[in-house]
Structure 1
Amino acid sequence: MNLRDRATRVVVLRVLRDAVEAEYRAERRAVLDGLRAARAELALKSMRVTLPDDIPIATLTLIDPQPTVVVADEDAFTAWVAVNHPGEVETLVRVRPAWRREFFGRLACFDPVADPHTGEVIPGLAVEPASEPRSFSLRPVPGGVERVARAWHTGEIDLRWLLALGGGET
């Protein structure tokens, strides 16, 4: 293959890559919206994905964010840490970020937020509820990638249908 052929190939592959990436992002968003709706309606969190012949190729699973402890009142939290963990408060009167992350990792996500050792309610902290899932995992089943490749090569998967460049019908 000469340079001109390789250059043409690079341009075509780039156009196809960009088109596939745009379609992938749009479909991924639509699937996420569909999974969220299925969870709300049917309590579905995960689904098996198959080729048209019902051969499984992957599993999609909603990724549930966890509730997190957040500082609702910086001054109240800093004052509490200054009294209870004075070595963790910096001269500029703030809680050391590394200690805060480590400490928050030990806290239960229940309102009111309490010290795990003493049970004392910690002023300035609150629990922020988990957000809606923002993503899902896609795990091919064993042999799934090979099945997709085989279906593509045999024409069972029509790339013209999957990827209509420019949004036109094929």
Structure 2
Amino acid sequence: MTATVNPPALTAHDRATRLLALRVLKDWIAVEDRKLRDEMCAELVVGERYSGLLDPADKESLLGFVQLTKARETASVVDPEALLAWVEEHCPSEVITTRSVRPAFVQALLASVKADGGWVDPETSELLEVKGVEVRTGSPTLTVKPTAEADALVAEALAARRLQLMPATAR
């Protein structure tokens, strides 16, 4: 029976390094993905399909297929005002009237509740509780921000095989 050897746990520094390197790779991948998609769309006709093989001589290395599919036809509202006028003329029973608070005032209320805990009445200076509004504290956000040099550093580290990004099970 062979004993399973678990790799050493990653340190916070190791995880930060991997996150930054992966961010750089994701950016590279996004650019390359867009470029290849644009080229394939320009090249293919609808229905045409290509296979992706790691080794063209080995059918077992098939990754999958790329195909240009027929565009779907969809309808969308491009001029809400014109649509409303048309419906008022042809199907007036389908028009509804809604009540709402002006968006600018909602923003002012939210800012006041966040800053002061309520709405300060401009005439009385009384702090009023605003029903239907509450202040919530969100979760901390992890920011991954590569340096300007990260692009070149990651490329160099990958080429020299000094950077391991994939877990052992993915190899």
| Greater length-normalized contact order (CA 8 Å, ≥ 6 residues apart) | 1
Query: Quick check: which has more Rg, 1 or 2?
Result: 2
Output the TM-score relative to the length of structure 1: 0.42
Question: Normalised by the size of structure 2, how large is the TM-score?
Answer: 0.42
Which of the two has greater strand per residue? 1
